[in-house]
Structure 1
Amino acid sequence: MIGTTPHPPRSPPVPPTPGDGRAAANAAAVLRTVLSHGPLARSDIPQLCGLSPAAVSRQTTALLRAGLLCERPGPDHPPATTGPGTGTGTGTGTGSGTTPGPGRPRIPLDLHTGPLGGPLAAGLHIGVPASTFSLVDLRGRVLARRAFPHAGRSPGRLPAAIAAELGRFLQESKPAGRPLLGLGAALGGWVRPADGTVVRHDALGWHGLPLGAELSDRLGLPVSVDNHARAVAHAEILFGRPEARSSLLHLFIGNVVDAAFGIEGTVHQGPEAAAGDVAHLPVPGSRTPCACGRTGCLQASASDGVIGAEAVRRGIVPEPSVNLLVDAAATGDPRADRLLRERARTVGRAAALLLDVFNPAVMVVAELSSILHEGYLDEIRAAAGDQDRYGRRIVAPHAGPAVLPVASATVLLAPLFRDPSRLT
């Protein structure tokens, strides 16, 4: 390596995938390095990802050809346009890639996103009252999104209705000329990613539903499906805080409650992909009765449905909606604020139990009020107990209110970043 310019730390190791070959692992290492540090010169990539310059040259050539990488020329260095070797030089520069030198100009490489185009992933989050559609680029940035209220549709008719409306969204929102890689779908309950089956989602009335196959047939796209807690965990590992790649715990609080745990970049699924069900986690101090016959279960104590119903009972909102409750608190209703703080403390006590068991580097809590207003996140942190040990580890999702649009698309993108050779 020419020069002595210091470099940022190497990118974290790419999680192994069953069946990975050396080419797939090398392609993933290069793509993840550019995700973490790009734009950067080709000559910087070997030191950052631990591969030889020759291996990096081969992989950048393939990734450029596949459209996953592109050149980001500066004003003094227009992109090369001649010969079959375009985009394969190794350069001798550092991360800026703009200083001229002998041979080929050091034109930086970056993920193929932004005004220059590049591939997109579609996202579908299926909630209980509504679904959310999104278009997301390779850096996890949302280009378009749309909500689709379910409007009381029956469980049997809902998948077809979602597919039809999603198809219209994609037709109207996808920029011309930008390839669509496929669809990532995320939802609560027990989801088996291996075959895209919703094993059980009681709130939607789905049991043994081949959701991935049905959506793929109707949309004509590759479809990947996962539980939304694992989807958020994947998004945090891929696009969020660096410490999430070491170890991450995610707690999802919505109409359903779920959790996910990741270590060294891999999110745990467990046998039959059933890991993460914390609906009946006993919350210290809660005496709320649960349908299971016990009291104090997390689902019965803190889910959106429960809190929305309590808000109606207290006369705060006219219908059981956490969104309306959050809006009421934002406009100064002390009753709404009080109820949201009660829920935040319940979530914090549940978080403390999980923190004691898993001791992650970071805990991401996806709960609407604490995503929108820092004060409720502080309430969760305080209820979790030991502030010196745990408080600073509890954070909101990096994408903020866009957490679910990003996470659902990441169901498709995470496998691509583990094995980009499928496109090369």
Structure 2
Amino acid sequence: MVASPTSSAAAVLRAVLRNGPVPRRTLSRLTGLSGAAVSRHCARLVELGLVVETPAIQRMGRPHAPLDIDTDTHRVAGVHVAHEFCTVVVLDLRCRVLAQRRVPHVSGDPVEVLENAADELTSLVLEVIPGQAPLSLGVATGGWVDQDAGVMVEHASLGWRDVPLRDVFARRLGLPVHVDNHTRALMHAEELFGAVGNRDSVLYLFVGNVVDAAVRMGGRTMRGRRSAAGDIAHLPVGDPAVRCPEGHFGCFEATVADQAWSRRVAGRSFWDLLAAAESGDVVARRQLAERSRIIGRVAALLYDLVNPDLLVVSELGANSFPECLAAVREEVGTRSRAPGNPVTASSFDSSTVLAVSAGAAALDMLYGNPLSASFAPTSH
């Protein structure tokens, strides 16, 4: 079967991303494409401002000009919608955060919240890249997100249903908009820019004010019908005395969600609990480690179900304190029957992980289909 120009161009672009700066000859070996095909795709990617030639390396014969991702010509934008605030962000094509801003929700009305975030993003873009429009906008959030429809079907902690994310932002900003669940977007970020790389099977577990999982098998992230895969909120592994909003007891999300956990065990906001732990408060760190143990029990259950090559945990405790990640690993090691059980924290630190998820929603589409991106060719 002959690869399409789009898939071949994507293969070249991803090979440059993973290996750049990289000579064309090496790209031919990495992608299995002919030298002529690689040269043709590289020329087009350079023309579009996605790839750039780096200073030539002098070897035997002609000098070679390795190729790398162009991180100067284009930018993407992102909006992450969380329980208490939105994060608006501008990123380069390696998903590096150039600037971000936290935007508190202005009301309980989802459209008002999203339009306000869009206006704040416009302000940020004008500061960071005046006179230039981002290639596209990525929108990420927790809960059930229908990627094809561009709709937040349900976000339990916000109480929002059937919110047309794509339509609201496209109307307000006039950009191509790509929408996804933040855990799947982070899986793509790990694949493209982080620790996952080319691993065939990966389990990603996200814990915040919502809890989600993403599963990658055979090199593809599972979505399910209407992108509903990954809902683990009601797994009965939490505190049996805790009742969730739907009337069930012992649910995972109702037990470990950020604000629910901190209010119950510490009587203060999660941000205050985290700040205390960062300042060395032993009790606060112990309370976060206990949450990590519950997360580890769920991770062990999912580990046995999926048997992945790697488990990635994105949770503020595990990302910030060694004892929290150790607690997750210990629970997985003790309870899972799968061999090896490699567990790692997110490649992206706590200060940028939400922003990265939003950017990755856009960049995954770009790296999957670079020739369809909506932008004018760029001369160099």
The question of 1:408 aligning with 2:366 is answered no
Secondary structure of residue in 2 paired with 1:181: coil
Contact 2:204 2:312 in 1 (8 A): yes
Contact 1:129 1:151 in 2 (8 A): no
CA offset digits 1:251-283 (Å, max 9, x no partner)? 111111111111233211101111111000121
Match of 1:15 in 2: none
Secondary structure of residue in 2 paired with 1:157: helix
CA offset digits 1:278-303 (Å, max 9, x no partner)? 00012177553333333221111111
Contact 2:238 2:251 in 1 (8 A): no
Distance verdict in 2 for CA 1:207–1:225, change over 3 Å: same
Secondary structure of residue in 1 paired with 2:135: strand
Match of 1:373 in 2: 321
The question of 1:107 aligning with 2:89 is answered no
Match of 1:123 in 2: 78
**Structure 1 counterpart of 2:331, which letter?**
A
Task: List gaps (5 residues or longer) in structure 1.
Answer: 1-19, 78-97
Distance verdict in 2 for CA 1:391–1:282, change over 3 Å: farther
Runs of 4 or more above 6 Å deviation: none
Report how many aligned residue pairs link the two structures.
371
How far apart are residue 44 of structure 1 and its match? Answer: 1.2
Match of 1:11 in 2: none
Task: List gaps (5 residues or longer) in structure 2.
Answer: none
Distance verdict in 2 for CA 1:179–1:70, change over 3 Å: farther
Matches within 5 A, 1:196-345: 196-242=150-196, 245-283=199-237, 287-313=241-267, 317=268, 320=269, 322-345=270-293
Contact 1:60 1:69 in 2 (8 A): yes
Using the alignment, how far apart are the partners of 1:208 and 1:353 within structure 2? 31
Using the alignment, how far apart are the partners of 1:178 and 1:392 within structure 2? 46
CA offset digits 1:104-139 (Å, max 9, x no partner)? x211110101xxx12111111110111111112121
Distance verdict in 2 for CA 1:252–1:43, change over 3 Å: same
How far apart are residue 55 of structure 1 and its match? Answer: 0.8
- TM-score, structure 1 as length reference: 0.82
Using the alignment, how far apart are the partners of 2:198 and 2:26 within structure 1? 24
Secondary structure of residue in 2 paired with 1:384: helix
Contact 1:155 1:205 in 2 (8 A): no
User: Which deviates further from its counterpart, 392-401 or 60-69?
Assistant: 392-401
Distance verdict in 2 for CA 1:225–1:266, change over 3 Å: same
How far apart are residue 242 of structure 1 and its match? Answer: 4.2
How far apart are residue 209 of structure 1 and its match? Answer: 1.5
How far apart are residue 392 of structure 1 and its match? Answer: 5.3
Distance verdict in 2 for CA 1:330–1:122, change over 3 Å: same
Using the alignment, how far apart are the partners of 1:380 and 1:197 within structure 2? 33
User: Which deviates further from its counterpart, 347-356 or 388-397?
Assistant: 388-397
Using the alignment, how far apart are the partners of 1:299 and 1:148 within structure 2? 24
Distance verdict in 2 for CA 1:48–1:372, change over 3 Å: same
Q: Highest CA radius of gyration, 1 or 2?
A: 1
Secondary structure of residue in 2 paired with 1:385: helix
Using the alignment, how far apart are the partners of 2:159 and 2:339 within structure 1? 37
Query: Root-mean-square deviation (CA), in Å?
Result: 2.1
Secondary structure of residue in 2 paired with 1:289: coil
CA offset digits 1:65-109 (Å, max 9, x no partner)? 111100111xxx4xxxxxxxxxxxxxxxxxxxx124434x21111
Of 144, 149, 155 in structure 2, the residue corresponding to residue 195 of structure 1 is: 149
**Structure 2 counterpart of 1:201, which letter?**
H
Distance verdict in 2 for CA 1:380–1:330, change over 3 Å: same
Of 103, 128, 146 in structure 2, the residue corresponding to residue 173 of structure 1 is: 128
The question of 1:32 aligning with 2:14 is answered yes
Contact 1:258 1:276 in 2 (8 A): yes
Match of 2:343 in 1: 394
